[in-house]
Amino acid sequence: MASAISHAVVGLSIGTCFAGPRYAKSVLLMGAACSTIPDIDVLGFRFGIRYDDFWGHRGFTHSLAFAFLLACGVTLFFFRREAPNIGRYALFAYLFLATASHGVLDAMTNGGLGVAFFSPFDNRRYFLPWRPIRVSPIGVGRFFSSKGYLVLENELLWLWLPAGIFALLILILRHKTQTKASV
């Protein structure tokens, strides 16, 4: 898996496509949270759930169906009324993409058993053909080690830098569009 920090960075980067100039910070924070929530499945290890089980790591909580359900739940529960400067459908789309990005990033790592993108309909695990991201150690204690440092260094190159460039390009395009519209 990619680190929780990098999942949040990518979730925030995706948010630049949806958030307006006076967006609610709660929307971006919820997107960052949604992008990390799929790793809740690691708690299953404590209860004897095996890695390759339906509820195991990179199983159902990493699927597109889970991303859909989480985006629906968060949109309906946390944003009963529309969030400022973002419509309900755009909010749902952002939260869905932020959550779904988690599985995509994990499928780009060099370890694990793959991601069950199509669970519960198909529980096979998949990797993407290109896997440049080092797999992050599971657990906070293991993350703060020399291996965790190497993972962060790798993620700076393959996730943070592209996410930052993506966000910057979106902000530049939005600024140019707003400048042309005001002329």
Is the pTM higher than 0.85? yes
pLDDT tier for residue 25 given thresholds of 50, 70 and 90: confident
Domain boundaries, position 156 = 4-182
Q: What would the pLDDT profile of 140-175 be if each residue is shown by its tens digit?
A: 766 777 788 899 999 999 999 999 999 999 989 988
Q: What would the pLDDT profile of 65-120 be if each residue is shown by its tens digit?
A: 999 999 999 999 988 877 767 888 999 999 999 999 999 999 999 999 999 999 99
pLDDT tier for residue 22 given thresholds of 50, 70 and 90: low
Per-residue pLDDT, averaged over 37-54, amounts to: 96
**Whole-angstrom distance, CA of residue 72 vs CA of residue 159:** 26
The structure tokens listed for 78 are: 């946390």
Domain count, the chain: 1
Distances (CA, A) of 69 to 13, 64, 103: 21, 9, 15
